[in-house]
Amino acid sequence: MHYGGDYNPEQWPEEIWHEDVARMREAGVTMVSLGIFAWSRIQPAEGEFDLDWLDRVIDLLHEGGIAVDLATATASPPPWMHERYPEILPVTVDGVTLGPGSRQHYAPSSPVYRRLAAELVTVLAERYAGHPAVVMWHVNNEYGCHLHADYSDNARDAFRRWLRERYGTVDALNDAWGTSFWSQRYTSFDQVLPPRAAPYSHNPGQLLDFRRFTSDMLLECYLMEREIIRAAGATQPITTNFMGAFMPANYQQWAAHMDVVTDDAYPDPNDPESFRAGAFQRDLMRSLKPEVPWLLMEQATNALNWRPANAPKAPGQMEALSLQSVARGADGILFFQWRQSRAGAEKFHSAMLPHAGTGTRTWREVTRLGATLAALPELPVGQDDARVALVLDWESWWAVDSPDHPQNGLDYLEVVQRWYRALHRRHVQVDIVPPERVDGRYALALAPALYLLRPEGAAALDAFVRGGGHLLAGPFTDVVDPQDRFLDGGFLTRLGGVLGVGIEDFGALVAPDAPGPGEREAPLEGPFGAATGTLLAEEVVARGAETVATFTGGRRAGDPALTRHGAGDGVGWYLATVPDEDGCDAIAGHVLDQAGVAPVLAGLPPTVEAARRGDVVTVINFGAADVDVDVAGHELLRGADVESVTLAPFGVAMVRRS
Ligand code: GAL
């Protein structure tokens, strides 16, 4: 178990560093992420490097037995850079150049930025590749955070290069984007631009490729740094910190290039349900690379500075959320940051060592958590025994997010998370994967709004059902190909076989929060009781499937709302609407039952969560009252054999089951 946080010694005089190391030892810190925003300190001018201070800090940490996750410091360029090379600055969709004075003010595709970043990383890698304190490399920081897309001339040139590589000929590009529409036919790649502000809707193929390009540009930056570090002979694992389900970067594609997945998570203490979003984020991280334990690279010990109202965490909440990460596959808990800053935009952000000192609740909780983690035995690693796959796909997310759909109020991530919440309330273990990763290890796969479906994903889902799995799909699933174009033969052209249905119309309803008149809800009824559909009430035609639930009102009254179709050894379910929270709950219950999926633990209230990590079951009470839980085995936090545990609010038990 790693334990620690971001360490920014450049913000402090050197005497403080000695105190820092002593305090870190007291708190049980094992590793710090060093120098993430130290570029201007490391390189005060072009071609001029000052590494003596960094040598001293690293040596000091090493003497104190604290390992270093060494940052490459490329996330915030120093002032000399924009002074001399203003062309590195990013530009918004409206043509506004984003200036310096904050952080992340660089165009990821800028050749000048990349050259200067490469120079910095080369110097750092050559100097520290063999340093015994350095156990990990932290490339850049939160790629894409703040700057979700860049529309500068750097991006224009790089987008053309990227499109040339992808399509080879301009005719292939025209075909992929369907440019015969609205007179958009290109005769040269040099006519193509990023989708900058325009009079009306952009070409959807262009929008989708620009998202792919944006993710790829950030990934290229990461890969460039990674190669430099490796070329210098470094053998430590290399990573960059993710931000949960972050739309601009396709982490499902990136994960292959991380030696270890690391993640930053800031659930809102004001939201009593945010622990469910936390569980979703942690399951996503584990699912990205199940064979290697991930690390929680950043969280807050207490309050933040960047929400409209930054509530403190309640006593015990930080520890409960930390152990939630461990329960869901993490082998390390780190914070932003070690010592609270005394100046700058984040001076109100909590830290491990608060500005108010060691007489604080935060410090007591920090030292207690350090001791708790240090006492944990090694925990199981590897793909666990989740029987449910929740399908989340970045490309489908991007495509759904484009305009000009039957229902433009469909929030893809929110719909996926709504299903996750239903499963979480039922204490079911879930992996969150793209369609290509759905296979026979699962009993049930849920694929909501899988609008864009790649041929490989379609083949995997089809084989999954035929091999005996239950697939619950829809609505707005299997609509377009990877270029956001319809396929011949209508909709559900790939999954229609196993689902036994076709779609005639998407049947948009007025979104629940949209103004104006019109139908907003589609009531339905089935063996799970009555439920409410929202957003879409599709016109489904049965082609072999039986109707399980029927719309009971509105324009689709009497028509199928949920269908079931036996295909091969499995079952394809199709749902024609987006149920509300209770509806997802009821339908999830029915389908889990039919697929024979059991919860991690039965009989728990929905505010108590249960997660399995190999033979260790963790239960956490996120409710407001004490709860008794029947779970027998060796309780790792108390070091005792138990038959049951009583959990106070934010109480945790980790039970190795016999
Ligand atoms: C993260 C970032 C940290 C710090 C933190 C504050 O996005 O990586 O440097 O700013 O947020 O919550």
pLDDT for residue 306 is more than 90: yes
Gap from CA of 508 to ligand 1 centroid (Å) = 39
Give the model confidence (pLDDT) of 557-615 as tens digits: 999 999 999 999 999 999 999 999 999 999 999 999 999 999 999 999 999 999 999 99
Dist. CA 445–CA 627, nearest whole Å = 31
Nearest atom (ligand 1) to Cα of 142 = 8
- Which residue puts its alpha carbon closest to atom 9 of ligand 1? 336
Q: What share of the chain is helix, strand, coil (3-state, %, to 5)?
A: 35, 20, 45
- Residues designated catalytic: 142, 298
Look at residue 607 in the predicted model and tell me its pLDDT. Answer: 97
Three-class SS state of 471? strand
**Neighbouring residues of 488: CB distance < 8 A, sequence distance ≥ 6:** none
Gap from CA of 350 to ligand 1 centroid (Å) = 11
Average pLDDT over residues 155-175: 98
- Which residue puts its alpha carbon closest to atom 12 of ligand 1? 304
Gap from CA of 475 to ligand 1 centroid (Å) = 36
Give the model confidence (pLDDT) of 239-289 as tens digits: 999 999 999 999 999 999 999 999 999 999 999 999 999 999 999 999 999
Average pLDDT over residues 332-349: 98
- Which residue puts its alpha carbon closest to atom 3 of ligand 1? 336
Nearest atom (ligand 1) to Cα of 266 = 12
Q: Between vectors from CA 262 to CA 259 and to CA 265, what angle results, nearest 5°? A: 170
> Tell me, what DSSP letter sits at residue 375?
H
Look at residue 658 in the predicted model and tell me its pLDDT. Answer: 77
pLDDT for residue 199 is more than 90: yes
Helix (H) or strand (E) holding 565: strand 560-567
Average per-residue pLDDT for the chain: 97
> Pocket residues for ligand 1 (CB within 6 Å)?
141-142, 145, 264, 266, 298, 304, 336, 346, 349
Look at residue 385 in the predicted model and tell me its pLDDT. Answer: 85
pLDDT for residue 305 is more than 80: yes
pLDDT for residue 24 is more than 90: yes
Q: What is the amino acid identity at position 429?
A: Q
**Cross-strand bridge partners of residue 64:** none
pLDDT for residue 551 is more than 90: yes
Nearest atom (ligand 1) to Cα of 241 = 8
Gap from CA of 16 to ligand 1 centroid (Å) = 22
Look at residue 327 in the predicted model and tell me its pLDDT. Answer: 98
Gap from CA of 259 to ligand 1 centroid (Å) = 22
Three-class SS state of 621? strand
Nearest atom (ligand 1) to Cα of 37 = 9
Residue % of the chain over a pLDDT of 70 = 100
Gap from CA of 102 to ligand 1 centroid (Å) = 12
Q: Where are the beta strands (DSSP E) in 323-372?
A: 330-335
- Count how many Cα atoms sit within 13 Å of the Cα of residue 280 in the half-sphere of its side chain: 26
Look at residue 450 in the predicted model and tell me its pLDDT. Answer: 98
Nearest atom (ligand 1) to Cα of 141 = 8
- To 10 degrees, what angle do helices 412-425 and 274-288 make? 100
pLDDT for residue 382 is more than 90: no
For a ligand 1 pocket test, name from 72, 313, 336, 337 the mutation site with the most ligand atoms within 8 angstroms of its C-beta.
336
Tokens 């340093």 appear where?
131
